[in-house]
Chain A
Amino acid sequence: AQSVTQPDIHITVSEGASLELRCNYSYGATPYLFWYVQSPGQGLQLLLKYFSGDTLVQGIKGFEAEFKRSQSSFNLRKPSVHWSDAAEYFCAVGAGGSQGNLIFGKGTKLSVKP
């Protein structure tokens, strides 16, 4: 069965520092992979997605993620974090190869120190 693991429950970084949020997935074929951000009490906003092609994908707000098949990973990165990036981040995989039915990881809460 498909699954998504986000090993870090909570990460704190200083403003201006680089960020990497880890995501590992379990899926037999090439997955559809997503990163979403959720601010408190809000819905989810898509940061970026990977379907095929170039394994380094660029998203909104300066985020990028790299698909590594050998490691079953899709880590999210940002070179310089802003205070407004503090939020909950969810990695997701399209269940059964679907782009619509998603399985989410448990999320990583990002705190940003001034």
Chain B
Amino acid sequence: GAVVSQHPSRVICKSGTSVKIECRSLDFQATTMFWYRQFPKQSLMLMATSNEGSKATYEQGVEKDKFLINHASLTLSTLTVTSAHPEDSSFYICSAWGDSGANVLTFGAGSRLTVL
């Protein structure tokens, strides 16, 4: 079945540093990837949609200069949280949509970011 790998699963960083999270589709080509953010005990909120080879489309209220998304290949998208602050601490989840044949969205296991 379709598998999406997200790395790292947990990351702790100091305030002001940048953190990169990777999302890989392991056995299919992901034409579209989605990045979600989940606050504790809350639902997932879509941050942005990225299509391979083009600029990401950000949801209203999401700072594109702070959350840099790159989808340079059909199997990899990255989310970089720039100049991270404690309020950026959250659970980030990616999902991928592509030619897996399963015709469903496949989610990664998520990345827990803690900014000290």
Q: List 16 A-B contacts (CB under 8 A).
A: A36-B107, A43-B6, A43-B93, A44-B107, A46-B105, A49-B104, A99-B104, A99-B105, A100-B97, A101-B49, A102-B95, A102-B105, A103-B46, A104-B44, A106-B43, A107-B42
Q: A34-B105, A99-B104, A100-B95 are in contact. List 6 more A-B contacts (CB 8 A).
A: A41-B112, A42-B110, A43-B6, A44-B107, A102-B46, A107-B42
Interface string of A40-62 (1 = CB under 8 A from B): 01111110010000000000000
Q: How far is the CB of A104 from chain B (nearest CB, A)?
A: 5
Residues of B near any A CB (own CB < 8 A) = 4, 6, 32, 34, 42-46, 49, 91, 93, 95, 97, 103-105, 107-110, 112
Given A42-B109, A100-B34, CB of A90 within 8 Å of CB of B104: no
Interface string of A15-47 (1 = CB under 8 A from B): 000000000000000000010100001111110
A-B residue pair count with CB separations less than 8 angstroms: 50
Chain A residue numbers with a CB within 8 Å of B44 are: 44, 90, 104
For chain A, the count of residues having a C-beta within 8 Å of the partner chain is 19
Most buried by B among A34, A45, A102, A106: A102
A103 and B95 CA atoms in complex are apart in Å by 13
A106 and B6 CA atoms in complex are apart in Å by 23
Q: Which residue of A lies closest to B6 (CB)?
A: A43
Asked whether B6 lies within 8 Å of A100 as measured between CB atoms, the reply is no
Among B49, B97, B110, point to the contact of A43 (Cβ < 8 A): B110
Asked whether A105 lies within 8 Å of B103 as measured between CB atoms, the reply is no
Among A42, A45, A99, A107, point to the contact of B43 (Cβ < 8 A): A107
Q: How far is the CB of B30 from chain A (nearest CB, A)?
A: 10
Among B42, B103, B109, B110, point to the contact of A99 (Cβ < 8 A): B103
- The 5 tightest CB contacts between A and B, nearest first, are A100-B97, A43-B109, A44-B107, A43-B107, A104-B43
Chain B residue numbers with a CB within 8 Å of A106 are: 42-43
A43 and B91 CA atoms in complex are apart in Å by 10
Interface string of A86-106 (1 = CB under 8 A from B): 000010000000011111111
Asked whether A100 lies within 8 Å of B105 as measured between CB atoms, the reply is yes
A46 and B103 CA atoms in complex are apart in Å by 12
